[in-house]
Structure 1
């Protein structure tokens, strides 16, 4: 009798039959990877032929008053710029010097401690605008050499 109690579960398991087959997992389709995006343009993708020296003036625009209400002075500031390898350095007057990067469309933005300027190269000229203490100046420079 002792053996019957222990053998009973084995006999019941033998009569149960075979377990149902386990379904195999479905194959996963390989993922198609999108092509990598194109590399960004180099920072100094400036138009060819801008390297050199540029000279001109910053002329005060009419009707300007400074941020403190005083008249803007001076009315005319000498301007000099040098360009090389997609970079430009602009000097206005005796002490203001700013640098910027020339973009592919020939534009450049300068920012200094007391002044900001931006403009565009067009042929052998550079035209733009500079702002200092609420006073706006028109920049006109021409190429003077390499």
Structure 2
């Protein structure tokens, strides 16, 4: 069963481009990297780095220290009914913690084919408007409003 605590990681370059990935199980569902913690005691930063590696092939440990930043923002949202079977009975809400990851301009992306089918780098405003999830778009805008 999935734990209803997750991370969202906005991966971006210094030029303001943001990485979006398209889900394999839902056409035109563009998003940032997301994923649940593996255990209740898993550190959120560790979970964020693990999800980035699993979904994009980007190894956070190979980047300069401080590239992964906790945005210190959490939201709670309702889990879509079609995905609730992944959680314990009665679980309907998820707590999502936002992170950002600054990567070099020449960063290569290697998608996990079972999870995602395409990726693109977009200017942050375009990326924010293309996200299926309104809160994902808000995370992108929040990151760039701080710059």
Structure 2 length-normalised TM: 0.30
Higher strand share: 1
Mark the structure with the bigger radius of gyration.
1
Structure 1 length-normalised TM: 0.31
Higher helix share: 2
